[in-house]
A and B are shown apart, each in its own frame.
Chain A
Amino acid sequence: MARIIVVTSGKGGGGKTTTSAAISMGLALQGKRTAVIDFDVGLRNLDLIMGCERRVVYDFVNVINGEANLNQALIKDKRCDNLFVLPASQTRDKDSLTQEGVGKVLENLSKDFDYVVCDSPAGIERGATLAMYYADDAVVVTNPEVSSVRDSDRMLGILASKSRRAEQGEEPIKEYLLLTRYSPQRVKLGEMLSVDDVQEILSLHLLGVIPESKAVLNASNSGTPVILDDKSDAGQAYGDVVRRYLGETVPHRFLEEEKKGLFGRLFGG
């Protein structure tokens, strides 16, 4: 049985898709058979971030409607044999997703995979609630600013009350906080909430802090999950996140402003 992970946040532009791509790639690199599903029907992005947009034939909605089977729709990653992408449909809307349909797809994926990562769309509507409905674990992606924190908080409330586990009275979804786009400089200036501030409001287990980084945009543009850029701070931070998720104790990094050496100061960071 696969473990189903939902990457969610409520707010848009917070790094859900970047995180889904990074975590699924990270798990696959650790030898876990992993599938990542784009639930953002109508606003398909994951295929771009994963760099497989030119190989999409069938999509998630085709599978739900029985127009294609899973093996036809799953796109195997070229960099890692353990990783498969199930893209969203760009021509439909979120109403094409049904609870039974999603449930069936996840059940079938569960037979072959160790982890299924669900990339949730923004908002708390159908796409988002279906992405989290069957989840075992939730990675709540939050930016260090008040509106993002509140939206995450709202999402946590929905996770606790409207998921399958909640409805059937099972053990609740395991919730993890992932703070993204973190800038220690701006925290120091008081322009951003600190890790502690966010932790205090959300009182969640901190899975990791991803620093604001140029590497993320570069990775998105080139269709490479940022975790593969292991020279970058964001890539390393995602690497830590995956190891922490799998149970390793890894100290948190990139929480403090980096002291720039002479070269750094001369040539910029």
Chain B
Amino acid sequence: MRPRMSVRTSENPAPSHVFEIRGGSVNVPALRLFCSDIPAIIALLQERIQQAPEFFRDAPVVIDLHALPVDGEPLDLAELALALHQNGLVPVGIRSGEPGYQLAAKQAHLAVFSEVRHEPSPRPAEAKTPPAKLPEPKPEPRPAAVPTRIIQQPVRSGQRIYATGDLIVLAPVSAGAEIMADGNIHVYGSLRGRALAGVQGNAASRIFCMDLQAELVSVAGHYKVSESLDPSVRSKPVQVYLSNDALIVEDL
């Protein structure tokens, strides 16, 4: 229902050149139609929009015509596009193998997306109640879980450890060692080295440690060195996080 499509996007013009063409891929929900009854489609759509107005606000949508009954009424693409616009959606293109629809899309200034192989979808069993079959819009796809890295051995001076997700260290981190993570960092031994959470810029990441003696702590590039850490938090269990671009070191 939410196909991943390759679309060509252009970037803002840079002074050195007017534009560049880059391939990229974006997620656009597809509206997969099982009938060509525009009033019925719009009625159900409005119901859905009411349930999740934020999700649908100015949402680009691809009209997928593959599941339309071949022998049914032909769909008036221009009218549907207009109706979608009126309901706050932004139709960007269609998906169809039918030359007739492809031509209609061109006239309605809609893109025709390349054919993708569809998994066989159940056709509506009863033609009399087709609008009820409009599939639920799925929630945003969850990003694949990044595995947490767990270190059980002491992290020695001079060693560097990097985790693409969260990092858990069940041993001391020595002075002169460096631990980094795109996500959160947990240290259950003494933290004497450097700890950098959210190194890819995730400002919501935090550092948790049982004994703060760090040379440096950093969250998403905001850092404090040992000297600027308040003596009241030294050698204590603390968490370090960002709040309004300020690095907060707080007792646990």
Contact = CB atoms under 8 A, between A and B. Distances in A.
Interface of A: 150-151, 153-154, 156-158, 160-161, 172, 200-203
Nearest to B192: A201
B172 A157 contact: no
A193 to B, nearest CB: 13
Contacts, number: 41
Given A154-B157, A157-B158, A203-B172, 6 more contacts: A150-B174, A151-B157, A154-B158, A157-B156, A157-B174, A160-B156
Contacts of A153: 156-158, 174-176
A161 B155 CA distance: 11
B189 A150 contact: no
A198 to B, nearest CB: 12
Nearest to A159: B156
B232 interface: no
A157 B189 contact: no
B170 to A, nearest CB: 11
A150 B157 contact: yes
Interface of B: 153-159, 171-172, 174-177, 189-190, 192
B156 A154 contact: yes
B146 to A, nearest CB: 24
B176 A156 contact: no
11 contacts: A150-B174, A150-B175, A154-B157, A157-B156, A157-B157, A157-B174, A160-B159, A200-B190, A201-B174, A201-B175, A203-B172
Contacts of A201: 172, 174-175, 192
Contacts of B155: 157
B174 to A, nearest CB: 5
Given A150-B176, A201-B192, A156 B171 contact: no
Nearest to B193: A153
A156 B174 CA distance: 11
Contacts of A151: 157
A143 B156 CA distance: 17
Contacts of B175: 150, 153, 201
Given A153-B175, A153-B176, A158 B192 contact: no
